């Protein structure tokens, strides 16, 4: 397993103009053939990180001005992260997609049409194909390509689709911990939860949302805390030569261009991909149902191991 992951070093510190920056300690090459499913929130394995090593991931963008603010903070701290983009947002803001790649971050796929409040339809692999296609179109002027990395909206993984993605050479990412920044909680709570969960686990992949104003707000403070506590940033990139084949758009009648993305709720029915392939499962649950179960499990585990960790009760949402 370890042979599939190469370490590139030393860090990018030489290029960093800010002597106080946290920086990026190392780059980790990820081979989807060896790491098909990553992140201990849902899977058995995560990235081979050392204690105190953190991978930052940002979901749901690009969405200026929040994404732009996040990019500014990361740039000033010489930190490289991974952005799981929503295709329809990428289509609305291609310049931001290009900026993410030009800044040296990894650009990954979070499906084409990601409902932001309620999940109620089956994901087909075509949703990921469309996401890769849209992101690739945005990156094309610079000759850049999306990484073969994907994450299900809401982490609503569907095993049949996971298998199809793995067969196409795409790694499916969960995460190791959240900061609950997609819930309407005060920014200081986002910070507190991110740090508490990181301290509990000691290393791992943190899932944040660059579309959330609170996240952009606390990011400088989060980085400051990571620095003070001795954490190091690891940038994950695809193993050399690993790319994803971009499937051509379906030749059938071209659907109307999607409406400009809004950070607010959209009717799931309006974004229902059709048709769902017969070999894909259908997920029928809401964010609240799914995450209440997750947090209940976490609370039980926390009660056994670390009573000091207070996990958020999704029922409060
Ligand atoms: Zn998302």
Q: What pLDDT score was predicted for residue 316?
A: 30
Q: How far is the CA of 59 from the centre of ligand 1 (A)?
A: 5
Look at phi and psi of residue 241 and say left if phi exceeds 0, alpha if psi is from -120 to 50, else beta: left
pLDDT at 18: 93
Span from the CA of 19 to the centroid of ligand 1 (angstroms): 34
Q: What is the DSSP letter of 306?
A: -
1 CA to centre of ligand 1 in angstroms: 29
> Cα of 127 to ligand 1 centre, how many Å?
14
Residue 12 alpha carbon to ligand 1 centre in Å: 29
CA of 139 to the centre of ligand 1 (A): 21
**Distance from the CA of 85 to the center of ligand 1, in angstroms?**
8
pLDDT mean by block of 10 residues, the chain; 317 residues: 41 73 97 95 93 98 96 98 97 98 97 66 79 97 97 85 93 94 89 94 96 95 97 97 85 54 46 42 49 67 53 32
- Helical pair 66-76 and 213-228, crossing angle rounded to 10 deg: 20
CA 133 to chain centroid: 18
Distance of CA 288 from the midpoint of ligand 1 (Å): 14
Distance 208 CA to ligand 1 centre (A): 9
**What is the reported pLDDT for 125?**
87
* Gap from CA of 217 to ligand 1 centroid (Å): 19
Q: What is the pLDDT of residue 214?
A: 94
For the chain, domain boundaries: 19-244+271-284
The predicted structure's pLDDT at residue 272: 47
Contact 146, 152 (CB under 8 A): no
Are the C-beta atoms of residues 102 and 142 closer than 8 Å to each other? yes
Through-space distance between the first and last CA atoms of the chain, rounded to whole angstroms: 40
Class of residue 160 by CB neighbours under 10 A (exposed 0-12, middle 13-18, buried 19+):
middle
293, 301 Cβ separation under 8 angstroms: no
Gap from CA of 35 to ligand 1 centroid (Å): 21
Distance 153 CA to ligand 1 centre (A): 4
Q: Which CATH number fits domain 19-244+271-284: 3.40.50.970, 3.20.20.370, 3.90.1170.50, 3.40.50.300?
A: 3.20.20.370
What phi, psi does 35 have (nearest 5°)? -125, 80
Rounded CA-CA distance 38/122 in Å is 21
* CA 253–ligand 1 middle distance (angstroms): 28
CA–centroid distance, 162 to ligand 1, in Å, is 16
Q: How far is the CA of 9 from the centre of ligand 1 (A)?
A: 31
**Separation of 3 CA from ligand 1 center, angstroms?**
31
CA of 15 to the centre of ligand 1 (A): 32
Burial class (CB in 10 A: 0-12, 13-18, 19+), 51: exposed
CA of 264 to the centre of ligand 1 (A): 12
121 alpha carbon – ligand 1 mean position (Å): 15
Rounded to the nearest whole angstrom, what is the distance from the C-alpha of residue 273 to the centroid of ligand 1? 17
**Amino acid 183: pLDDT:** 83
């Amino acid at each position: 397993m370890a042979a599939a992951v190469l370490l590139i070093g030393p860090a990018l510190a030489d290029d960093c103009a800010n002597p106080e920056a946290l920086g990026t300690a190392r780059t980790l090459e990820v081979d989807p053939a060896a790491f098909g499913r990553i992140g201990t929130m849902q899977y058995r394995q995560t990235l081979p990180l050392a204690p105190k090593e953190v991978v930052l991931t940002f979901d749901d963008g690009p969405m200026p001005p929040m994404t732009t603010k996040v990019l500014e903070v990361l740039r000033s701290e010489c930190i490289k992260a991974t952005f799981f983009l929503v295709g329809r947002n990428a289509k609305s803001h291609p310049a931001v997609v290009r900026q993410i790649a030009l800044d040296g971050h990894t650009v990954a796929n979070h499906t084409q049409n990601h409902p932001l409040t309620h999940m109620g339809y089956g994901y087909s692999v075509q949703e990921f194909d469309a996401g890769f296609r849209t992101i690739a179109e945005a990156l094309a002027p610079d000759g850049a390509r999306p990484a073969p990395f994907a994450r299900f909206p809401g982490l609503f993984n569907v095993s049949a689709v996971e298998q199809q993605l793995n067969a196409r050479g795409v790694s499916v990412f969960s995460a190791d911990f959240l900061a609950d920044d997609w819930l309407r909680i005060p920014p200081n709570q986002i910070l507190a939860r991110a740090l508490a969960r990181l301290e509990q686990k000691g290393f791992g992949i943190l899932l944040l949302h660059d579309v959330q104003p609170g996240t952009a707000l606390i990011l400088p403070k989060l980085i400051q805390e990571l620095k003070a506590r001795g954490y190091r940033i690891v940038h994950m990139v695809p193993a050399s030569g690993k790319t994803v084949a971009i499937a051509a758009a379906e030749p059938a009648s071209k659907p109307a261009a999607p409406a400009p993305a809004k950070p607010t709720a959209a009717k799931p029915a309006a974004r229902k991909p059709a048709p769902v392939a017969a070999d894909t499962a259908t997920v029928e649950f809401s964010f609240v149902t799914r995450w209440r179960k997750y947090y209940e499990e976490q609370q039980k585990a926390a009660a056994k191991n670390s009573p000091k960790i207070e996990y958020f009760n999704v029922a409060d949402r």
